[in-house]
Chain A
Amino acid sequence: MSALLDIEDLRVTFGGTAAVRGISLTVEKGETHCLVGESGCGKSVTSLAVMGLLAKGGKREAARLSFAGEDIREYNEKQMSRLRGDRMAMIFQEPMTSLNPAYTVGSQMTEVLRRHRGTPRAQAVDRAVELLTRVGITAPGLRLGQFPHQLSGGLRQRVMIAMALMCDPELLIADEPTTALDVTVQAQILRLLAELQKDLGLGILLITHDLGIVARVADRVSVMYAGKVVESAPTAELFRAPRHPYTRGLLSCVPVPGKVKRDEPLGSIPGVVPRIPPGFIGCAFRDRCGFAEAACAADIPRRNVGPAHEALCILPEGARA
């Protein structure tokens, strides 16, 4: 059976610059696939490209881009907008992008159902109340009558999540859904997503830069660096046996509660993410990598390095950071 979302060799350019440089990943029904990586590596652009929502000037190319077995590469705007908010939903990094400040929460939530399903207003309101309750909002009736700016950041984020779920989507793309929230609220929302996934078989592409979240909720992880997926593996495997030097560096940077030693420096990755000029070939991590050699300046093939575990690096097995 084919995956719910199947992306192969996705490329996105803005004018001369390549934001996404050929990434492949799949999301199965009921699976959470996490996409991690540093600011600017192309996580949001990847998700926007899938949703057909790239900003003006963005150009998308892919060897495959299919949703529930259907090739959506040639879908026109009308076909895409029929999918969006219905069978595939998105929670945006910036909550105000998907909430319209001029309309109440209630009218925005019910509009989704009315547009896609023609649901009568009263029923749509019932559904909205049900979902707001589900995401842990007390007094949902009151919230329906409020405007987005009258809500706290945490409430707004929950409203977005409820809105994304109005039509029982099959795929949810969530771009940093809990970054702006307190840890206690974050835990609550991640639990909710896991529950919904179990009940509805939702496939989730979760974008985050928080490795704690990844460890706790992902089934599979893809690590991005400078527009490419440099490593991809089942979660336990990735944390147990990271192969790419960038992944290893990233894991060593995170202070682990209960295991940190004061006065001992954290691991860190020297240098900064480079700018990738057009026509760049080879490993983009090479000017920061302690293992770089001449071969790293040539094309690096994707290799199997373990069970369902792929890395984009020339290092042979057994090499240790």
Chain B
Amino acid sequence: MSVPAIEVRGLRREFRASQGLFAAPRRVIAVDDVNFSVPAGSVLGVVGESGCGKTTLARMILGLMEPSAGEVLVDGKRLEGMDRRARARLIQPVFQDPFSSLNPRRRVRDIIAMPLVAQGDVTTSEVDRRVAESLERVGLSTEQGTRFPSQLSGGQRQRVAIARALVLRPRIVVCDEPTSALDVSVQAQILNLLAELRRDLGLTYLFISHNLAVVEHVASEVAVMYLGRIVEKRESEALFRDPRHPYTRALLDSVLTPEPGLGVPDVGLGDIMPDPANIPSGCRFHPRCPACFAPCAATTPRLTTLEDGLVECHLAG
């Protein structure tokens, strides 16, 4: 079997947030024993509510944040102790906010050149050539390369961020909500661009979004996160056709498809909001789960293997 593009084993991350002088610090387990691998050339979508740990997971996979436990392997190599420049050649990020992720004082072409220049051993003419190639790949003109970020639209800025991610010709791109700040028409342009790049360059994506329709469109496999854990991970088509975890079902039912006359569904989650500093006993979803039954509050469900994926729920056991 070929080496997975990304593999994470027992990944965990805690935060301790001070609550003032006299209160005990709040201990948040943002990512809790997460395991998965992403085959080269595929797209793993990660979905889940705000605060469930998606960005924390992404930052650890990018090597931008140390795990509290566990390890990350990228292209079969352990991230820990890897040289920064080597890491940058393997894996690159595209973040949500094209406004704050680009330095406003630099011209577009210098922003795109930055990762290449940081490699140290590249000639100026090589930099120019690769920047021009990146600009063209994402559909920006040479003239747009001479502008400042403030002189571009939101969609164009996200193209700059993608060009910057591609300039080192990485194998893997981690996209954290890459289209959430964009209008739907611009979102469609960017999603089409990402799909084209994946096909042409054989890229692997970890694609984080809270928009399930977008994830369904781009992902080959989908992981559903809840309070730091992956509670279901399935082939995309199977997950959307036949979700097995009650939380996945609630998420899918909450999606308001553009179909008039259907009204707004009641997904039956109640209004107890999950708190990552206070994770419930047993199944962590049980206080909100419409299907909760006898063992759920006391016993943590085991991971059950299905033919097309994994699910962590007593009902599936």
Contacts and interface: CB of A to CB of B under 8 A. Distances in A.
Given A184-B267, A184-B269, A254 B184 contact: yes
A255 B185 contact: no
Interface string A125-167: 0000000000011100000000000001110000000000000
Contacts of B187: 253
A202 to B, nearest CB: 16
B192 A268 contact: yes
Nearest to A178: B256
Interface in B225-282: 236, 240, 250-252, 254-267, 269, 271-273
B53 interface: no
A216 B217 contact: no
A191 B251 CA distance: 16
Q: Of residues B189, B252, B258, B266, which shows the largest number of chain A Cβ atoms within 10 Å of its Cβ?
A: B258
A260 B264 contact: no
B132 to A, nearest CB: 22
Contact of A136 (B191, B217, B271): B271
Contacts of B250: 184
A54 B256 CA distance: 32
B153 interface: yes
A215 B265 contact: no
Interface string A303-318: 0000000000000000
Interface stretch (A9-17, A99-107, A110-118, A206-214): A206-214
Contacts of B261: 215, 236
B19 to A, nearest CB: 11
A154 B273 contact: yes
Contacts of A292: none
A266 to B, nearest CB: 4
A268 B193 CA distance: 11
B266 A191 contact: yes
Interface in B159-208: 183-189, 191-192, 195, 199
A239 B267 contact: no
Given A216-B262, A250-B184, A250-B185, A183 B255 contact: yes
Contacts of A239: 258-260
A249 interface: yes
Interface in B22-77: 49-50
Interface residues of A, number: 49
B156 A272 contact: yes
B210 interface: yes
A54 B218 CA distance: 41
Contacts of A262: 217-218, 220, 236
Contact of B184 (A187, A194, A209, A260): A209
A213 B256 contact: yes
Contact of A257 (B212, B260, B264, B265): B212
B154 interface: yes
Contacts of B251: 183-184
Contact of B256 (A210, A240, A249, A267): A210
A39 B154 contact: yes
A184 B213 contact: no
Nearest to A183: B254
Contacts of B263: 194, 216-217
Contacts of A272: 153, 155-156, 186
A217 B258 contact: no
Interface of B: 49-50, 153-156, 183-189, 191-192, 195, 199, 210, 212-214, 216-218, 220, 236, 240, 250-252, 254-267, 269, 271-273
20 contacts: A137-B271, A138-B271, A152-B273, A182-B49, A182-B210, A183-B251, A183-B255, A183-B256, A184-B251, A187-B264, A209-B183, A210-B256, A211-B258, A212-B255, A250-B184, A254-B184, A254-B258, A256-B258, A262-B236, A272-B186
Given A209-B184, A217-B264, A240-B260, 16 more contacts: A137-B271, A183-B251, A183-B255, A184-B250, A184-B269, A187-B267, A194-B263, A215-B258, A217-B263, A235-B260, A236-B261, A249-B185, A254-B258, A257-B213, A258-B240, A268-B188
List of 7 A-B pairs having minimum Cβ-Cβ separation, nearest first: A212-B256, A268-B188, A253-B188, A183-B254, A266-B188, A136-B271, A255-B213
Interface of A: 38-39, 136-138, 152-154, 182-184, 186-188, 190-191, 194, 209-217, 235-236, 239-240, 249-251, 253-258, 260, 262-263, 265-269, 272-273
